[in-house]
Chains A and B, each alone.
Chain A
Amino acid sequence: MSALVEQLNEDLSEVVARARVGLVQIHNGHRGAGAGAVWHPDGLIVTNAHVVQRRRPQVVLADGRTVSARLLAADPDHDLAALEVDATGLPAVTLGASRRLRPGQWVVAVGHPWGIAGAATVGVVIGLGADLPGFPAGRGEMLALSLHLRPGHSGGVVVDESGQVVGINTMMAGPDVGLAIPVEVAKRFIKDALGTP
């Protein structure tokens, strides 16, 4: 392979490594695991509301520890939830800016599809906005991505080509379009729910 492809591979593996920082598994009893991301080293975790079906889900941290989490806030309309675990010094995500994303830009999504921990998938930004035609209406602003999200991806992160979080994996729209909640929407949710940025 050419030097250019080798450079791309090197960058992609670095981006995947950065995307996995702060990635956790969220268990709800028997029904498989969703994903979540540590937003603050002192135990704040953000995921999808539909991933949290119990008030005290079990969370598997990056270091392998399983801890019990408390539900701090949930917004089913935006499909967002905030959890808290008793831990400090956790590796946390680096938040980016979804508003600056452009169609055609490269993104990587990580989660636990079909239970495969930390699996990565790559795609590009199709579009972003609240009025994406053909996609579910009334869900507010969304990122449309040309990548496949599977059960277990939900609550995991989408990062841009520098490894910064730009969205939260949520659902598929049709067979080939993945939808993510823009990170700006999640930032607003955390600010409104917890009063802190």
Chain B
Amino acid sequence: MTGALKSLSDALAGTVEALGPGVVRVEARRRMPASGVVWSSDGLVVTAHHAVEFEEGISLGLADGRTVNADLVGRDPTTDLALLRAEGSLEAPKWRGPEDLRVGHLVLALARPGRTVQATLGIVSALAEAWQSPGGGQVDRFLQTDVVMAPGFSGGPLVGAGGEVHGVNTSGLLRGLSMALPTPTVERVAAGLAAHGRIRRGYLGIGAQSVQLPAGLEAQLGQSAGQLLLSVEPGGPADSAGFILGDVLVAFEGTPIQRMDDLVALLTGDRVGQTATVRLVRGGTVQERSIIVGERPR
């Protein structure tokens, strides 16, 4: 024996022990509790949105065995994150962005579904650019691991070799995959939830589907598809801006729109109430219209 395995094993168990105080039990649903991780020492805790069924009567189980009450500050179903505020101060772990992570790195998933802290080990399976969740949530990096998400592990921290938290684990975002919301996303969503109690999203009040553009328009616009308006909500932002059924939307603020995802990605919360320029095709001719972006109803 060289001692390398013993050293590695001790280091992993030591990391779990050191991070334990920052991992809490979240009792906010009928069946088994989930986990949360302390975001800041003033009592803010992030957890998985899908693990929070109750809006009131939420309690947190701490490492020292105490149970404290917590309020739901807000939730964002699109990134599967929720923000809680506990009574009193909590011990926060060090948070870190995903920039030091590489595919193949060992990572731990920590959780506290019961009284004690629990852990599973895996590697970073995939690390790619920003992506959009099926619900339309903006996630700064695609961070997939192969850590086992045992019962109650959602909402717990993903911990790297340096003993720092790189994100929040969830099994509720992409079915069958262990995904982590990277720290920048947690930071942005937590800030939004703390400020507004929700994550605002832009809204145009339209229903649309992709259509191929005729060859002439394709050459003129430099894109092959656009979004054909199938419905326009009466009194909604698009209606107020004079959009009508049959218009084909081809660009938003100068960015080409070929698929609906292209548009959804541009309708960020900071555009709510702002005026945007939309390019569309009506009766075979290209024109531009101004629209005041609304807020997506909850």
Seen from chain A, the residues whose Cβ lies within 8 Å of a Cβ on chain B are: 4, 7-8, 10-12, 14-15, 102-106, 123-127, 129, 131-135, 144, 146, 160-162, 174, 176-177
Kindly state the separation between the CA atoms of A125 and B13 in the bound complex, as whole angstroms. Answer: 9
Q: List 14 A-B contacts (CB under 8 A).
A: A4-B4, A7-B2, A8-B8, A11-B1, A103-B118, A103-B119, A129-B115, A133-B113, A133-B151, A134-B150, A146-B120, A146-B121, A177-B150, A177-B151
Q: Do A125 and B119 touch (CB < 8 A)?
A: yes
Chain B residues lying within 8 Å of A131, measured Cβ to Cβ, are 114-115
B162-187, CB < 8 A from A: none
Contact B114 A176 (CB under 8 A): no
In the complex, the answer to whether A104 meets B114 with C-beta atoms within 8 Å is no
A133 to B27, CA, bound (A): 12
A129 to B115, CA, bound (A): 10
- B5 to A133, Cβ gap below 8 A? no
Question: In the complex, what residues of A have CB within 8 A of residue B151's CB?
Answer: 133-135, 174, 177
| A5: min CB distance to chain B, Å | 9
| 8 closest residue pairs by CB, A with B | A134-B151, A11-B5, A7-B4, A102-B13, A104-B16, A127-B118, A106-B9, A104-B12
B108 at the interface (CB under 8 A from A): yes
Once the chains are docked, how many angstroms separate the CA of A105 from the CA of B108?
11
Instruction: Assess whether B12 is in contact with A105, with CB atoms less than 8 Å apart.
Output: yes
**CB atoms of B16 and A144 under 8 A apart:** no
Cβ B4 vs Cβ A127 within 8 A: no
Whole-angstrom distance between the alpha carbons of A126 and B12 in the complex? 12
Q: What is the bound-complex CA distance between A177 and B118, given in angstroms? A: 12
Question: A106–B121 Cα gap in the complex (Å)?
Answer: 9
Question: Which residues of the other chain, B, contact A123 by a CB distance below 8 angstroms?
Answer: 121
* Separation of A133 and B119 alpha carbons in the complex (Å): 14
Check A124 against B119 for contact (C-beta < 8 Å).
yes
| Closest chain B CB from A134 CB (angstroms) | 3
Instruction: Please tell me if B78 contacts chain A, counting CB pairs below 8 Å.
Output: no
* Closest-CB distance, B53 to chain A (whole angstroms): 16
The count of residues in chain B whose C-beta lies closer than 8 Å to any C-beta of chain A is 32
Within the complex, which residue of A126, A144, A161 is in contact with B9, where a contact is CB–CB below 8 Å? Answer: A161
Contact among A7, A129, A174 with B150 in the assembled complex (CB-CB below 8 Å): A174
Note all chain B residues with C-beta closer than 8 A to A8: 4-5, 8
B98 at the interface (CB under 8 A from A): no
Report which of B15, B115, B149, B150 forms a contact with A104, defined as CB distance below 8 A.
B15
Q: Closest A-chain residue to B13, C-beta based?
A: A102
Do the beta carbons of B119 and A106 come within 8 Å of each other? no
A162 to B12, CA, bound (A): 15
Residue from A14, A133, A146 within 8 A of B148 (CB atoms): A146
Q: Report yes or no: B150 in contact with A176, Cβ–Cβ below 8 A.
A: yes
Q: Mark B109-130, 1 if CB is under 8 A from A, else 0.
A: 0000111111111000000000
Asked whether B119 lies within 8 Å of A144 as measured between CB atoms, the reply is no
Is A126 in contact with B150, judged by CB distance below 8 angstroms?
yes
Residue of A nearest to B16 (CB): A104
CB of B13 within 8 A of CB of A134, answer: no
Whole-angstrom distance between the Cβ of B6 and the nearest chain A Cβ: 5
Contacts of B16 in A (CB 8 A): 102-104
Whether, in the assembled complex, B17 has its beta carbon less than 8 Å from a beta carbon of chain A, the answer is yes
Q: A124 touching B118 by the CB < 8 A rule?
A: no
* Cβ-based interface call for B152 (8 A): yes
B6/A133 in contact, CB under 8 A = no
What chain A residues lie within 8 Å of B32 (beta carbons)? 133-134
Q: In the complex the two chains form, what is the Cα distance from A84 to B5 in whole Å?
A: 35
What are the residues of chain B within 8 A of A14 when measuring CB–CB? Answer: 1
In the complex, the answer to whether A15 meets B5 with C-beta atoms within 8 Å is: yes
Residues of B with C-beta under 8 A to A133: 32-33, 113-114, 151-152
In the complex, the chain A residue whose C-beta lies closest to that of B151 is A134
Residues of chain A with a CB closer than 8 A to B149's CB: 176
Are B4 and A103 in contact, with the CB atoms below 8 A?
no
Residues of A within 8 A of B113 (CB): 133-134
Residues of B within 8 A of A174 (CB): 150-151
User: Does any Cβ of A come within 8 Å of B242's Cβ?
Assistant: no
Q: Say whether B4 contacts A11, CB under 8 Å.
A: yes
Q: In the bound complex, what is the Cα–Cα distance between A11 and B5 (angstroms)? A: 6
* A6 smallest CB distance to B (angstroms): 9
Q: How far is the CB of B121 from chain A (nearest CB, A)?
A: 4
Contacts of B15 in A (CB 8 A): 104
Given A11-B5, A12-B5, A105-B114 contact (CB < 8 Å): no
Q: Tell me if B150 and A144 are in contact (CB < 8 A).
A: yes
- Residues of B close to A127: CB separation below 8 A: 114, 116-119
Contact indicator A10/B2 (Cβ below 8 Å) = yes
Most buried by B among A11, A123, A129, A133: A133
